[in-house]
Amino acid sequence: MQGVVSVESGYMGGLLPNPDYQSVCTGRSGHIEVVQVTFDPAVTSFREILEVFFAIHDPTSMDRQGNDSGTQYRSAIFYHSDEQRRVAQELIAELDGEFSRPVVTEVRPAETFYIAEDYHQEYFRNNPQQPYCTFVVSPKVRKFREKFAGKMRQSA
């Protein structure tokens, strides 16, 4: 996406210091699987990034995304400023009536971000034929490309 400088997979929001995938998968660490997006606000806005977020996942599923279930899959936005919190809450209020169920996305202050293991970084790019990527991630990427074509970087 234009303006996105980097995206890192990781974990946030739990009690366990330095969590790893194994501990997060138990659902007992309290962490959520997240991506940390670094962006250039002169090129794209926090709201535009959130619009992508809401377009490619189900914000009405409590502790679930597709076939993945557990507290580590809950929908959450971690904000870094009062302005980001306000934008997130306003967008949720706007979108709430557009779904058949209420939006359950949590809006929370950012906590310590723990970067995920190397094999989680660029997972789709590195594993495009893996069944999860084929059946779950690929349709989301296609949806992004169709809905946000004007926002894509030329190298995407």
Q: List the chain domain ranges.
A: 4-151
Looking up tokens 């594993």 gives 127
**Residue 22: pLDDT over 90:** yes
Assigned token pair, 26: 């138990």
Give per-residue pLDDT as tens, 89-124: 999 999 988 988 999 999 999 999 999 999 999 999
Higher pLDDT, 116 or 65: 116
CATH number of 4-151: 3.30.1060.10
Looking up tokens 């209420």 gives 102
Sign of CA dihedral 78, 81, 86, 91: negative
Count of CA atoms in the C-beta half-sphere (13 A) of 114? 20
Looking up tokens 């709201």 gives 47
Mean predicted confidence (pLDDT) in 27-46: 96
Q: How far is CA 107 from the centre of its chain?
A: 12
- Residue 49 — φ and ψ, nearest 5°? -65, -40
